[in-house]
């Protein structure tokens, strides 16, 4: 025979379930907690990214210096730049 106290508890909860509007859906406390945790995580990530971006010291090279660097790298011979007919790991003598 089933436990009568469990049966009585279910009988008392059934009318409460009927009082709820079946067309109304709410996220409840768990939904709020999940949303709050995600919002805090996004805030912390943005703060960290901002801190890291402030540490970046990027100065664009002047146009003349970059053109000279490109010209000097093109002027190098293949042996001097390390790109020759020797394969990977081979040495030329």
8-30 tens-digit pLDDT: 776 666 665 566 677 787 888 99
| Ramachandran quadrant class, 89 (left: phi over 0; alpha: psi -120 to 50; beta: rest) | left
Q: Give the Cα-Cα-Cα angle 23, 25, 26 (nearest 5 degrees).
A: 155
Residues 56-78 have a mean pLDDT of: 70
Q: pTM (2 decimals)?
A: 0.40
More confident: 74 or 56: 56
Q: What is the pLDDT of residue 74?
A: 64
Phi, psi of 3 (to 5 degrees): -65, 125
Instruction: Tell me if 44 sits within 8 A of 52, measured CB to CB.
Output: no
Return the sign of the alpha-carbon dihedral for residues 45, 51, 57, 59.
Answer: positive
More confident residue, 85 or 11: 11
pLDDT of 85 higher than 60: no
Q: Beta-carbon neighbour count of residue 77 at 10 Å? A: 8
């Amino acid at each position: 025979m089933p436990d009568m106290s469990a049966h009585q508890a279910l009988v008392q909860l059934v009318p409460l379930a009927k009082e709820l509007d079946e067309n109304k859906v709410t996220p409840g406390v768990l939904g709020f907690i999940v949303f709050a945790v995600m919002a805090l995580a996004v805030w912390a990530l943005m703060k960290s990214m901002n801190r890291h971006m402030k540490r970046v010291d990027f100065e664009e090279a002047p146009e003349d210096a970059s053109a000279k660097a490109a010209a000097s790298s093109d002027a190098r011979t293949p042996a001097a730049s390390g790109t020759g007919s020797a394969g990977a790991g081979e040495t030329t003598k």
